[in-house]
Amino acid sequence: MAKPFLFIGLGNPGQKYAETRHNAGFWFLDRLVGQSGADFRLQSKLQAEVVRTVLHGQECMLARPMTFMNNSGQAVRAIIDYYKIPGSRMLIAYDELDLPPGVARLKLGGGHGGHNGLRDIFRHTQDHEFLRLRIGIGHPGNKELVTPYVLSRPGRDEQLLIIRTISKAVAAMANVLNGKLAAAQTELHTIAEED
């Protein structure tokens, strides 16, 4: 029997961080789970909020690590070990400084690109051939400003662009779940460029 497809969104737990740019991965999961009407539940042993549901005819699990961004690997490792999920059945969504708001990119494999959450996942896992959904949040223009930038709320126009892109990414998951990665990439990337 096929393993469920695992969606992991990266972010920081707690109300203080809920609307910050660094939580774009959580925003994606909120939109995705909103299609099913299911609710996240804290699973302490996995250090994550988890929901199991069906999306586009496929059994799926959605997980939000509760370990804070820089320690995301602890929860991810606990989840994949417990449910025995291979990298080929996993997508990790996270904020991307190198893409502007309104742009998202879907790709298979690659490096961590300096993203602290992804870097920690690499530290705790061996199989890095998973899908990544990089959600553009833009760059403050100065390396010294990155931390306060990602831990603050985007302006109204930026937030609308990010949310609109996340909605497009959620729509593209139908193709991902049906094994049509190239179609999902075309759908997401082309639309983002045309807007």
Residues designated as active site: 22
Q: What are the Cα distances from residue 185, in Å, to 46, 108, 174?
A: 31, 10, 11
Q: If phi over 0 gives left and psi between -120 and 50 gives alpha, with beta otherwise, what is residue 111?
A: beta
